[in-house]
Structure 1
Amino acid sequence: MMFLRDPSAYHGENNKRPFFEGWYHKLVTNDGRALVIIPGIYRSGFNNNQTAFVMIFDGDTGEVFYERFEVQQFSCSTSSYSLHIGSNHFSSQNITLDIESEALTIKGQVTADNLKPWPVTLFEPGCMGWYAYVPTMECFHGILSMDHSLDGQIELNGSNYDFVGGRGYIEKDWGRNFPENWIWAQSNNFSNSDLSITASLATIPWKNTAFAGFIVGLYHKNNLYRFTTYRNTVTKEIHYDSNKFSWQLRQNDLVLELTIEKGHKAGLLYAPDKMDMVPRVPEYLDGNIYLKLYDHKGTIVEDQTTSAAVEIIGDVRKLINMAGGLPSG
């Protein structure tokens, strides 16, 4: 029997192992300064290690701060996203931070308004579609808001981030482990202020084999254009060299062309491993995205940005081959 559950809520209440869950908040000021804030929880399947955490990625410096908390300090609703870790609170509408440690002093509050979540219905419960009902999936994904406005301030080690008039994005992952290989990019900081995109391509274990699964959402003028594996979107072209990823997708009459490039300054994010959370995911907040969406009537939107979050991880050549393309370079 299918059971509809809010993807934003906590999924680890039964203490299963291995398990991780993290909520990814990207906050960008009106003048383009970016912070990533990731609260979460981790439980090893190989030892007794378990920890709650708050991770901060400072786009100005490239520094990543990883603060551990006792799991007893972690409290999250299983019906909606309302998370407390120590004296810090996180939800889709609010972040309140109060951390003081040897490496990190961060305090402040940011609110979000006019959120644009990926729709959740019984037959398509969020961005994963019917795959969300498959309990053996290695990693589950949720998109809590494609784009929203921000208000408030955060002070990080003496540097003030003023988010009045800024833009935000929220997604999350939970499950046993991250994929083996993936490409992910996101931005809602284009010259067109009513435009946001998130795109991911990853190796998905399936029974005794694997496939290249993808989720691409483009939000423009109150429309969410969805290009996904479960909607039978077709990859028409796909190429990758050491720095640039090009992708053309067709969904019925719609065609989306994407070019994604790494930036110049990466932060090393922590991710679940067998024994612990370890620093192993380089993420850029100054990546490039070019996009063009069109149909038989002509171009719907075309834009580019140099303020994109980009991750290109693992054996990408293998991933591209699996997705039906040939890597170059």
Structure 2
Amino acid sequence: MVQQASSCIASLISSLLPASGSLQTPHSGYHWDGNPRRFFEGWYYRVTLPDLGQTFAFMYSIEDPQGGTPVSGGGAQILGPNDEYLCRSFPQVQQFWAWQQALGIGHWRHTSEAAHSQATQGHLETKQPRLLPPAEFDRWVNEGYQATATWHQGVLNDPGSGASARWQYKIQPIYGWGNVGSPQQSTAGWLSSLQIFEPGWQILMAHGLATGWIDWNGQRYNFTNAPAYSEKNWGGSFPQKWFWLNCNCFVNEPDLALTAGGGRRGVLWWMESVAMIGIHYRGKFYEFVPWNSKVTWQIKPWGCWQMQAEQDQYRIELTGTCETPGTPLRAPTEQGLIFFCRDTMHGHVTLRLWQRDRSQPILVAQSHLCGLEVGGGPWEETWEST
């Protein structure tokens, strides 16, 4: 019976793992190597509901996972409908787990007393934090999350405000970061495998389809094949200043995904400003990065994001705007997880893509469900750079 149960659990868990030959990107696994230096790793999952004009963005982080420092611990944040916000801390680093070779993370804050009682009586084994079959997670974990490349589940409850969220959905990856059928690429280039650029940044899934449900403060949102996205960052140092644009829900263009961003990052003993634009469109990857393109940007402290890039074959222009004030979010910093950036999931974006030798664009696309962000600082005037 025990063997049968173990086999059943293994089968359920294997169904949540990425399939062989999948779109798994470099850096999908957990980066911490056990070194007690200052370290953080963060993950971002998002689902957009086009018919409702709403988005759910989930942000997870772990800092100083060795424990014993003033900032050791984790966090879970959600930016929900109408840019509403929910955040919970996860102070016990021992309750965090992550896979080294593939995308798989989770953190528990509270577990079920009933489950503990059953374990004590021998009906259940004592649980160490790890990926659980969905029904078992529901039974065992009162507050926490678990996520892989193809599954995302969790529950948060804030006793102070009474806010709550619960979610379960499966993910079908469509684009990783690169051309379909080819090895997937490091977002920051092959040198990002070395401890030269910090923090590191990797788009895990530029575009996918999510099916499941999210319960937000008692209102349940069911969805089928909703646009989904995921990325991560990590390192022992922190960006001073950055910006970000992301959208995979364009009007009349269901097979289009945009991710663009830039910032000041550490390179060994100095700082540099860099930016990039990546487009997945109808099976093709268009990449504008410092080693193959000229990238320029003009980013206001809030309200307007403009980028241009050109290379040998293509050129692109992006304009993002936002009329709302956005929502302050926490980010890992030298001082720990503090309010350090501002986001909206209701930005307007216009994208134009040309072949260099043609005057008419090969793609013009718009969306009013674009993610826009500025972080760090100072943001006293427009940031213009090349």
Which TM-score applies when normalising by structure 2?
Answer: 0.75
The partner residue of 1:307 within 345, 357, 369 is: 369
Cα distance change of structure 1 residues 246 and 275 upon mapping to structure 2, 3 Å threshold: closer
Counterpart in the other structure of 1:193? 254
Code of the aligned partner of 2:372: V
Asked if residue 184 in structure 1 is aligned to residue 204 in structure 2, the reply is: no
Q: CA deviation at 1:65?
A: 1.8
SS, match of residue 218 in structure 1: strand
Q: How many Å separate the matches in 1 of 2:86 and 2:191? A: 32
Code of the aligned partner of 2:223: F
Q: CA deviation at 1:85?
A: 1.2
SS, match of residue 299 in structure 1: coil
Counterpart in the other structure of 2:5? none
Counterpart in the other structure of 2:190? 130
Matched-pair contact (CA < 8 Å) for 1:185–1:200: yes
Q: How many Å separate the matches in 1 of 2:330 and 2:209? A: 27
Q: How many Å separate the matches in 2 of 1:41 and 1:194? A: 33
Asked if residue 43 in structure 1 is aligned to residue 64 in structure 2, the reply is: yes
Cα distance change of structure 1 residues 123 and 305 upon mapping to structure 2, 3 Å threshold: closer
SS, match of residue 11 in structure 1: coil
The partner residue of 1:115 within 151, 163, 174 is: 174
Q: CA deviation at 1:69?
A: 4.2
Q: How many Å separate the matches in 2 of 1:34 and 1:168? A: 10
What is the aligned residue count?
318
Larger relative helix fraction? 2
Counterpart in the other structure of 1:212? 273
Q: How many Å separate the matches in 2 of 1:284 and 1:178? A: 22
Asked if residue 270 in structure 1 is aligned to residue 327 in structure 2, the reply is: no
Q: How many Å separate the matches in 1 of 2:146 and 2:242? A: 30
Code of the aligned partner of 1:212: S
Matched-pair contact (CA < 8 Å) for 2:349–2:368: yes
Q: How many Å separate the matches in 2 of 1:68 and 1:190? A: 35
Q: Percent identity at matched positions?
A: 21
List aligned pairs for 1:26-105, cutoff 5 A.
26-31=46-51, 32-43=53-64, 47-86=69-108, 87=141, 88-102=145-159, 103=161, 104-105=163-164
Counterpart in the other structure of 1:202? 263
SS, match of residue 112 in structure 1: strand
- Deviations 1:181-236 (Å, cap 9, x if unpaired)? 111110011011111100011112334443221121111101110000133x113x
* Farther off after superposition, 220-229 or 91-100: 91-100
Matched-pair contact (CA < 8 Å) for 1:124–1:130: no
Code of the aligned partner of 1:110: Y
**Runs of 4+ with >4 A deviation:** 120-125, 316-319
Matched-pair contact (CA < 8 Å) for 1:181–1:319: no
* Farther off after superposition, 56-65 or 153-162: 56-65
Q: CA deviation at 1:319?
A: 8.4
* Farther off after superposition, 160-169 or 287-296: 160-169
Q: How many Å separate the matches in 2 of 1:303 and 1:123? A: 27
Runs of at least 5 residues in structure 2 that lack an aligned partner in the other structure: 1-24, 109-140
Q: How many Å separate the matches in 2 of 1:162 and 1:117? A: 25
Counterpart in the other structure of 1:253? 313
Counterpart in the other structure of 1:11? 31
Q: How many Å separate the matches in 2 of 1:272 and 1:209? A: 20
Matched-pair contact (CA < 8 Å) for 2:37–2:64: yes
Q: CA deviation at 1:25?
A: 0.6
Taking only aligned residues, the RMSD between alpha carbons, in angstroms, comes to 2.7
Matched-pair contact (CA < 8 Å) for 2:146–2:154: yes
Matched-pair contact (CA < 8 Å) for 2:49–2:226: yes
Q: CA deviation at 1:46?
A: 10
> Rg larger in 1 or in 2?
2
Q: How many Å separate the matches in 1 of 2:269 and 2:38? A: 20
Which TM-score applies when normalising by structure 1?
Answer: 0.87
Q: How many Å separate the matches in 2 of 1:220 and 1:89? A: 30
Cα distance change of structure 1 residues 65 and 184 upon mapping to structure 2, 3 Å threshold: same
Code of the aligned partner of 2:173: N
Q: CA deviation at 1:310?
A: 0.5
Cα distance change of structure 1 residues 320 and 105 upon mapping to structure 2, 3 Å threshold: closer
- Deviations 1:285-310 (Å, cap 9, x if unpaired)? 11121110011244221111111111
Larger relative strand fraction? 1
